[in-house]
């Protein structure tokens, strides 16, 4: 009680709602009935609640929640693994390696990540600084990376710079010499799966003074990044981009994030020949802070179709062993990650799953007014306090721990000792549509 007397109204309000929210995140995955309006075909009620549970416990759910697939009726949801009979499984105590290399060339730093996943770009402004911090600290803890997105590099992230990818996107917001020099990996965002062929959108309500300062723009004015990079109309132009990064930071690996047009295979090979270490394909069902609905649904192909197309083409061009292929855009679960790898990717880039771990309900209101009511995709000073960075960090770490348990168990049953052995093993998949 004395405590209450010494606290400001704002502190009490934030504490009250945080306590209630945490209670709800723990309650619903264990309740007999899910909230009726929760979920959609891609992220079903069960997938959301299972993710909340994994983020709390660090283990796969054991209470019957479906945590492997959604109900979209296609793509990952109609694929399963051909698990051999038990006599072919590896012993339960077998060490299974989930690490993957990010640089398969012989130039630049030889970076590995401990799990075959890293965090995708979410820009400062589209998400709160607390969320960025939570993601960065989780990446550090897990031995992987997270990406700044295109909104600049808040100073509070510099502490974790060895685990942060600096994104250079068409708006060039916050791209400075030092943010390129911090980065072990620089990511060019040519396109984004949720809005392929359109630039990033940050609606005016979220362009606060601080966000605008970071982006060197005008507060409260919407920002629509151009599309495409107007300095790039060919692979040769793209090569100039890579050279520019190399000049500024010779250590950095270069990742090229592209969407999935009909010629995605050519784009991938072109990116490789221009010097990319990582080709990052972002499929059309990817997440976003704001995008036209028409773009999300209709432009470019889903990641499940793009991965094998690109993998096959890289193999046929004899360059598959020299490039790391990362996939994102609708990768929701550990099983999606495994399926993406079996289709030909080296690993996956995760976005929405991390947000769900820290309380997202997939309500699609990120761009509305003050932003996310759960304090995630918002720049509102009060709302963002609803998601404290240390709590968020632990939830993300727990979710990936639960994923790692599932991936190791799956590999063991498939008789594989390393996630690298799963790459391109289409023979281990079956179609169940």
Partner 1 sequence: MPEHREAQAGYHRYHIPTRPAPDIEKWPSRFKVKVRRTGLAKLLLSEVFHYRGRKDVILSRPCMYGVFSGPVGGFMPREEHCVGCLRCTTEFPEFVRIEHNPERQKLGDSYFTFNYVDQIAYEASSGLVPVRGAGYRGKFGGEGWDGMWTDMSEIVRPTRDGIHGRETISTVVDIGYTPNFLQFDAAGQPTGSLPHYISIQLPILFEGGDLAREGHVARIYARTAAELDTLAVLPFDQAIGLGEYAHAVVPVVRPQDAPRLSQLGFAPRVVEMHGWDDALYTTITAAFPEAIIALRTGFEDAAALVGYARRGIKVFHLLADYHGRSQDGRFVLDLIREAHTAFVEAGIREEVTLLGSGGMIAAEHMPKAMICGLDAVAVDTPLLVALQARFNGECAGRDASHFSLPSNLNEAWGVQRLKNLAASWRDQLLEILGAMGLREVRRLRGEMGRAMFMKTLEADAFAGLLGYTEAN
Q: Which of 133, 206, 53, 150 is nearest to 385 (CA)?
A: 133
Write down the least CB distance from residue 403 to ligand SF4, Å. Answer: 20
Tell which one of 94, 266, 322, 390 touches partner 1 (CB under 8 A).
266
338 touching partner 1, by CB under 8 A: no
Q: Which is nearer to partner 1, 73 or 155 (CB)?
A: 73
Interface positions with ligand SF4 (CB under 6 A): 355, 360-366, 372, 374, 376-377
**Of these, 56, 77, 187, 336, which contacts partner 1 (CB under 8 A)?**
77
Q: x/- string (CB under 8 A) for partner 1, residues 118-137?
A: --------------------
Q: List the single partner that 251 binds among ligand SF4, partner 1, none, CB under 5 to 8 Å by kind.
A: none
Residue 5 neighbours by CB under 8 Å, 6+ apart: none
Alpha-carbon dihedral sign for residues 149, 97, 396, 72? positive
Calculate the dihedral angle through the C-alpha atoms of 35, 41, 42, 48, rounding to the nearest 10 degrees. 10
Question: What burial letters (b/e) apply to 127-162, b meaning 16+ CB within 10 Å?
Answer: bbbbbbbbbbbbbbbbebbbbbbbbbbbeebeebbe
Question: With contacts defined by CB under 8 A, how many residues of the chain interact with partner 1?
Answer: 111
CA distance 136 to 252: 18
Question: Per CB under 8 A, which of residues 358..387 are in contact with partner 1?
Answer: 359-370, 372-374, 377, 383
For residue 405, the minimal CB distance to partner 1 (Å) is: 26
Q: Is 360 helix (H, G, I), strand (E, B) or coil?
A: coil
Tokens of 422: 């799963």
CA distance from start to end of the chain? 58
CB of 143 to partner 1, least distance (A): 27
Under the criterion CB under 8 A, does residue 32 sit at the interface with partner 1? no
Please tell me the distance from the alpha carbon of residue 285 to that of residue 295, in angstroms, as a whole number. 10
Comparing CB distances to ligand SF4, the nearer of 35 and 84 is 35
> Residue 190 binds what, of partner 1, ligand SF4, none (CB under 5 to 8 Å, by partner type)?
partner 1
Q: Which of residues 285-304 bind partner 1 (CB under 8 A)?
A: 285-302, 304
> Least distance to partner 1 from the beta carbon of 335, Å?
15
Contact flag: residue 112 with partner 1 (CB under 8 A): no
- d(C-alpha 17, C-alpha 371), whole Å: 16
Tell me whether residue 206 or residue 241 sits nearer to ligand SF4 (CB atom). 206
Nearer to ligand SF4, 49 or 355 (CB): 355
Q: CB 110 → ligand SF4: shortest distance, Å?
A: 36
Q: Which of 147, 291, 132 is nearest to 227 (CA)?
A: 291
Q: Which is nearer to partner 1, 92 or 432 (CB)?
A: 432
Name the strand (E) or helix (H) holding 250: none
């Amino acid at each position: 009680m004395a405590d209450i007397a010494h606290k400001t109204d704002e502190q009490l309000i934030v504490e009250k709602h945080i306590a209630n929210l945490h209670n709800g995140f723990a309650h619903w995955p264990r309740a007999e009935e899910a909230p009726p309006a929760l979920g959609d075909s891609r992220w079903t009620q069960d997938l959301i609640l299972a993710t909340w549970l994994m983020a709390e416990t660090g283990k796969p759910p054991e209470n019957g929640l479906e945590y492997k697939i959604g109900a979209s009726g296609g793509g990952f949801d109609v694929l399963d693994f051909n698990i051999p009979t038990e006599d072919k499984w590896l012993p339960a105590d077998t060490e299974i390696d989930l690490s993957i290399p990010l640089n398969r060339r012989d130039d630049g730093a030889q970076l590995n990540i401990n799990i075959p996943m890293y965090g995708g770009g979410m820009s400062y402004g589209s998400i709160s600084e607390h969320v960025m911090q939570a993601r960065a600290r989780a990446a550090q803890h897990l031995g992987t990376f997270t990406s700044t997105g295109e909104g600049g590099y808040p100073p509070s992230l510099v502490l974790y710079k060895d685990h942060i990818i600096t994104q250079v996107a068409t708006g060039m917001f916050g791209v400075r010499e030092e943010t390129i020099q911090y980065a072990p990996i620089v990511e060019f965002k040519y396109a984004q799966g949720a809005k392929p062929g359109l630039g990033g959108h940050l609606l005016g309500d979220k362009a606060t003074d601080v966000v605008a300062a970071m982006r060197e723009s005008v507060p409260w004015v919407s920002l629509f990044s151009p599309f495409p990079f107007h300095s790039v109309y060919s692979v040769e132009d793209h090569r100039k981009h890579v050279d520019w990064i190399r000049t500024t930071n010779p250590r950095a690996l270069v990742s090229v994030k592209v969407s999935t047009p009909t010629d995605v295979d050519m784009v991938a090979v072109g990116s490789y020949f221009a010097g990319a270490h990582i080709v990052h394909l972002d499929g059309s069902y990817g997440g976003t802070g704001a995008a036209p609905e028409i773009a999300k649904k209709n432009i470019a192909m889903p990641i499940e179709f793009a991965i094998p197309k690109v993998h096959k083409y890289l193999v046929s061009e004899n360059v598959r062993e020299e490039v790391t292929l990362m996939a994102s855009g609708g990768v929701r679960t550990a099983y999606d990650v495994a399926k993406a790898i079996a289709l030909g990717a080296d690993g996956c880039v995760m976005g929405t799953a991390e947000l769900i771990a820290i309380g997202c309900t997939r309500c699609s209101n990120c761009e509305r007014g003050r932003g996310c009511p759960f304090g995630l995709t918002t720049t509102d000073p009060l709302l963002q306090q609803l998601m404290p960075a240390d709590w968020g960090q632990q939830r993300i770490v727990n979710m990936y721990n639960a994923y790692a348990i599932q991936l190791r168990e799956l590999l063991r049953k498939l008789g594989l000792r390393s996630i690298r052995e799963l790459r391109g093993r289409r023979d281990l998949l079956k179609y169940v549509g």
